[in-house]
Amino acid sequence: MSLEKYESVIGLEVHAQLMTQSKMFCRCPNQFGSSPNTNVCPVCTGQPGSLPVINKKAIELGVRAAVALSCEIHPESVFARKNYFYPDLPKGYQISQYERPYSTQGHIVVRLKSGDEKRIGITRIHFEEDAGKSNHESYGTLVNLNRAGVPLIEIVSEPDMRNAHEAGQYLRALHSILRYADICDGNMEEGNFRCDANISVRLRGTEKFGTKVELKNINSFKFVEKAIEYEIQRQVFAIESGEKIIQQTRSWNSGKNVTEVMREKEQAHDYRYFPEPDLPKLMISSKWFEQIKKEMPELPKEACERFKKAFELSDYDASVLTSSKELAKYFEAVVAHCKNGKASANWVMNELLGRLNAAGREIGDTPVSETQLAALIKKIDSGEISGKIAKTVFEEMFATSKDASSIIKDKGLVQISDPAALESVVRKIIEGNPSQFAEYKAGKVKLLGFFVGQAMKETKGQANPALLNELVKKLLDS
Amino acid sequence: MEFGTQTIQELLAGYRAKNFKPTEVVERYLKNISERDEKLNSFLQVRPEETLKRARTLDAQIDNMSTLPLFGIPLAVKDNFLVNGWQATAGSKVLSGYISPYTATSVERLEAMGAVVVGKVNCDEFAMGSSNENSAFGPVRNPWDLERVPGGSSGGSSAAVAAGLATVSLGTDTGGSIRQPASLCGLVGLKPTYGRVSRYGIVSYASSLDQVGPFSRTVWDSARVMEVMSGFDPRDATSSKRSVPKFTEELNTNSKRTFKLGVSRAWLEGVDSDVAKSFDSALEVFKKMGCEIVEIDLPHTKYALSTYYLIAPSEASSNLARYDGVHYGYRTQSAKSSEELYSRSRGEGIGREVKLRIMLGTYALSAGYYDAFYLKANQVRRKIQEDFEKAFTQCDFVVSPTSPSTAFKLGEKTDDPLKMYLSDIFTLPVNLAGLPGLSMPCGLDSRNLPIGFQLIGKPFGEAELFLASHQYEQARGQFALPSMLKGKG
């Protein structure tokens, strides 16, 4: 295998839909799932004579993104028209930004599985409006313009990533930041967070970039990683077998697990960009900028620092728990209900996330709610059940979404903390194991554990461990 | 009484004296249209029922007319404006049958203040032309001489008012499309400062140059329409937030002011001798009024034509992309693929001159040519603006003839686009500089055709422009009427 001889160079372009009430240039609702062509007006359907007006809220969210991604903000930027014909593009051009975007030169730091951190540069962020949606049916193509004119930011990274994992981590970090700051809801299935990847390979040690291939519209983190991995191998094999890489646009076929050609470079458009004459320059005053900065929601790295301090968590634990806004919120809700940060962290990270990962589910559709998990932790803390029993209970909770108390009741799992009841169990065990008792008495004190274990077994694990330990020792020594 | 040539002022006085009601006036105008327009072809759509319905609601409001500054004023609207329920073809086959789903801000404001739309009027296709011969619905004829053009692109707007088919009309002016036809038809035509009037609801030709403006018989009427129609519109991001003066009040006070008029003799070379003579005698009138004439230099105006014909077509090539047969308007019957749907709908629906400009603009914006053409043209545009800025340190207005010649014959310039484009040599730079420009009649040539005088003002200097031209108008006296109206009121 010759893959090691090569190094891949990856840059990502992300289109993130902004969480505004209305569209970028008109007052139609920015809303998913309405009946086709109902969220439309003369402006977003491109009627003659209609004109765009900039949605201030969209600009505010864009500026927020730039702050969150440590970008430079340009007080003066320019909207431009990107001209092309397509049935779901009613004006025959898309309003975007081209030569003078509102923001450039930022970065984010991502954590890799090796434990290292890597800084990925962001070249630029610019505003644009979304196109409509073409639905290709057997009898023809239907156009839905509900999405036409929805506000987007396009975030273009530097070609700083060297493998699929780095690209995946960059995307996850970006997704998390945009979610945290209430900029984009991040819903990939609805197309609210879309990714294109530019990929090339070159021999290790060489400076010059190889010919790049663009992968279009990949709609999950996993697919992005898979598609990039496939594409790197495809390119290396092609080069190794003497072929030349052709500059082209490809798409990911998730059914076949391959990338496929969409169009060659020769078919590329000349978009004839020019400044949008219907809009003045976009001005972002320093006063406005400061205002937006002041009202910034908490970002993942800030949440991480706060978690470390407030809940006495390790660096690693805090970063895992703040890796997504939903998870952080979930965790905080658990702590709020059970008042035990450490235990909450352990339960969320080890039990809940472990099971979610195994089931391929996200925190958003956890079968165990925050209050349910908190109630379970409280039962451990109050001594009602042991930690060990709790794991059994949690397993059941995860499978059935039932409350811990009903599971404990149904299965009779309440911890036995009655000394009299436990004492009779312990006496029975001692009586039933005379030879071990004799050995213990002869000085083999290690056998204490044996008696505890037997007693625990006898109580089906329901004995209060501390009390049991105490009783066993007392009765053996008496 | 005969209706047709009354001014807004005269109609309002008549309504106030209860000499007539809006329905009577509107009925007369509709009658004028049905009797006279066959020869002119200025109207593309009339809806007598709708118009009379509207007039009847005004009849009932006659006692409150003081709150409606355009009470019962018949208004013709160029067919590149959208007026809810009316067609909006912009003179193109590609928009034939298109019914407006909303109303342009300018029209909305005029209607709200009492104006009555009597019809949609003809124009060059997408406002591209200087003779109205580029309309898909046939040329418009000049009421002063039916063998001649009314000018363009707002030829229907000028012919309609000149022939007494509407009291005032609206046009759009991207390079002279209001002022040149006003000049050729003996009317007052104003292109306001860029941003003064909302462009919302006018079919865009070149967004950075287009402006809405009125045609009228008098400066006062123009001022009245402007004070109602101007001002910031939240639906047009390029409209200005500047406050709008009460233009007519400033005229009513009858204050006399003297101005300095700047003339660039180099710029005026090559105009027809009758036009030059009439222009000079108008300057004499201004002098008698106490105005001073100063020589100014506009060194970059000689590049205005080529600059305009890069910027306007570039913007047009993009603005007109939406007329593609997909969502509305004309669609070809013979497309076998989506590619063909586009090329044939556009190929069949769009006329020759418009195609020419789309091609020109597409080329100027193409990769590899953008810097040399579009970008360079915008740099020159800035130079032309600076010429005017400098001139205005020496004078209050720059003046010129509106057009180098009077109305020419149909077909005379259709084979030579450049010759046609030269009709707008004095108006184009004003759009490039974004300034207000007013054309008013200043004389007749040897064939009895009207000649126009153009005053160019400082940005948002409409009030001064009105004042100066109103004073001139008083000194000049009532202007002649076209022969087809001789003997009619």
- Assess whether B78 carries a catalytic annotation: yes
Do the chains contact at A280 and B238, CB–CB below 8 Å?
A: yes
Chain A / chain B CB contacts < 8 angstroms: 99
The kind and range of the H/E element at B214 are: strand B211-216
Cα separations (Å) of B97 from A131, B45, B86, B92, B201?
26, 11, 10, 10, 17
Task: Report ipTM for this prediction.
Answer: 0.96
Residues in A touching B83 (Cβ below 8 Å)? none
Domains of chain B: 8-63+70-300+382-485 (3.90.1300.10)
Mean pLDDT in order along chain A per 10 residues (478 residues): 84 96 96 93 97 98 97 97 95 97 96 91 98 90 95 98 94 94 92 94 90 88 91 92 89 89 76 97 96 93 91 88 90 91 89 88 88 88 81 88 84 78 86 88 87 85 83 85
Return the H-helix or E-strand segment holding A203. strand A193-203
Could you say which of A411, A434, A450 is where a domain stops?
A411
CB contact B342 to A (< 8 Å): yes
Any A CB within 8 A of B238 CB: yes
Q: How many domains does chain A have?
A: 3
Position B274 pLDDT exceeds 80: yes
Q: Mark yes or no for CB contact A48/B324 under 8 Å.
A: no
Candidate list B177, B222, B314, B400, residue with the active-site label: B177
Indicate whether A405 and A438 sit together in one domain. Answer: no
Query: Averaged over B111-128, what is the pLDDT?
Result: 98
Average confidence score pLDDT of chain B: 95
Q: Is B82–A85 a contact, with Cβ atoms under 8 angstroms apart?
A: no
* C-alpha gyration radius of chain A: 30
Residue span of the structural domain in which A209 resides: 3-291
Do A104 and A139 have their domain in common? Answer: yes
Same domain, A262 and A315: no
- B489, pLDDT greater than 70: no
Residues A72 and A112 in one domain: yes
Q: State whether A424 and A339 are in the same domain.
A: no
Q: What is the largest CA-CA distance in chain A?
A: 102
Interchain proximity A278–B204, CB inside 8 Å: yes
Question: A90 to chain B: which residues are within 8 Å by CB?
Answer: 322, 326-327
Domain of A462: which CATH number?
1.10.10.410
Query: In angstroms, what separates the C-alpha of B192 from chain A's closest C-alpha?
Result: 17
pLDDT at A105: 97
- Fill in the DSSP letter of residue A218: E
Give B43 to chain A, closest Cα distance, Å.
20
Helix (H, G, I), strand (E, B) or coil at A26: coil
Question: Percentage of chain B with pLDDT > 90?
Answer: 91
Residue to test with chain B: of A41, A44, A142, A272, most B Cβ within 10 A: A272
- Contact of B268 with chain A, judged by CB distance below 8 Å, is answered with no
For residue B90, give every residue at least 6 positions away whose Cβ sits within 8 Å of its Cβ, in sequence order, or none. Answer: A48, B79, B80, B123, B125, B126, B127, B203
Average pLDDT over residues B61-65: 95
A137 and A19 both lie in a single domain: yes
DSSP A340-374: -HHHHHHIIIIIIHHHHHHHT--GGG-SS-HHHHH
Rounded to whole angstroms, how far apart are CA atoms A129 and A127? 7
- Restricting to A residues 260-289, those with a Cβ less than 8 Å away from any Cβ of B are 270, 272-274, 277-280
Find the residue in B nearest to A95 (Cα): B318
Write down which residue in A390, A411, A432 finishes a domain.
A411
Domain end point (choices A411, A436, A465): A411
Taking an 8 Å cut-off on Cβ atoms, the answer to whether A49 and B236 are in contact is: no
For B432-446, the pLDDT digits (tens) are 999 999 999 999 999
**Is B153 one of the annotated active-site residues of the chain?**
yes
For B120, other C-beta atoms within 10 Å of its C-beta total: 24
CA A105 to CA A157: how far, in whole Å?
Answer: 9
Specify whether A279 is located in the same domain as A326.
no
> Searching chain A, which residue's CA lies closest to the CA of residue B343?
A85
Same domain, A248 and A375: no
pLDDT in tens, B78-112: 999 999 999 999 999 999 999 999 999 999 999 99
Residues A82 and A115 placed together within one structural domain of the fold: yes
Q: Does B369 touch chain A (CB under 8 A)?
A: no
| Cross-chain residue pair A274–B203, CB shorter than 8 Å | no
B365 shares contact with chain A (CB less than 8 Å): yes
Residue B190's φ and ψ, nearest 5 degrees, are -120, 130
Query: For residue B153, is the peptide bond before it cis, meaning its omega torsion is within 30 degrees of 0?
Result: yes
Give the active site residue among B78, B120, B191, B458: B78
**Whole-Å CA distances, A146 to A29, A42, A43, A128, A138:** 9, 12, 12, 16, 22
A121 and A174 in one domain?
yes
Q: Is B337 annotated as catalytic?
A: no
**What pLDDT is stored for residue A266 in this prediction?**
62
List helix spans (H) across A312-433. Answer: 315-321, 325-338, 341-346, 353-359, 370-381, 387-400, 404-411, 419-432
- Closest in B235, B318, B370 to A53, CB measured: B235
User: Please, are residues B7 and B221 in contact by the beta-carbon 8 Å criterion?
Assistant: yes
Closest partner CB to B82 (pick from A48, A85, A270): A48
Say what the pLDDT of residue B233 is. Answer: 98
Instruction: Tell me how far apart the alpha carbons of residues B121 and B133 are, in angstroms, rounded to a whole number.
Output: 14
**Which of A54, A143, A270 shows the shortest C-beta gap to B237?**
A54
Q: Is B90 on the interface with A (CB under 8 A)?
A: yes
Which pTM was predicted? Answer: 0.90
Indicate which of B207, B238, B326, B374 best probes the interface with A, i.e. most A CBs within 10 Å of its own CB. Answer: B326
- Chain B, 92 to 111: residues with Cβ < 8 Å from chain A are 95, 98, 101-102, 104
Query: Are both A150 and A237 inside the same structural domain?
Result: yes
| A287 & A302 share domain | no
Q: Which two tokens stand for residue B347?
A: 């190929």
Measured between beta carbons, the chain B residues lying within 8 angstroms of A53 are 234-237
Subunit contact A91:B204, Cβ cutoff 8 A = no
Residue B64 has pLDDT above 60, yes or no: yes
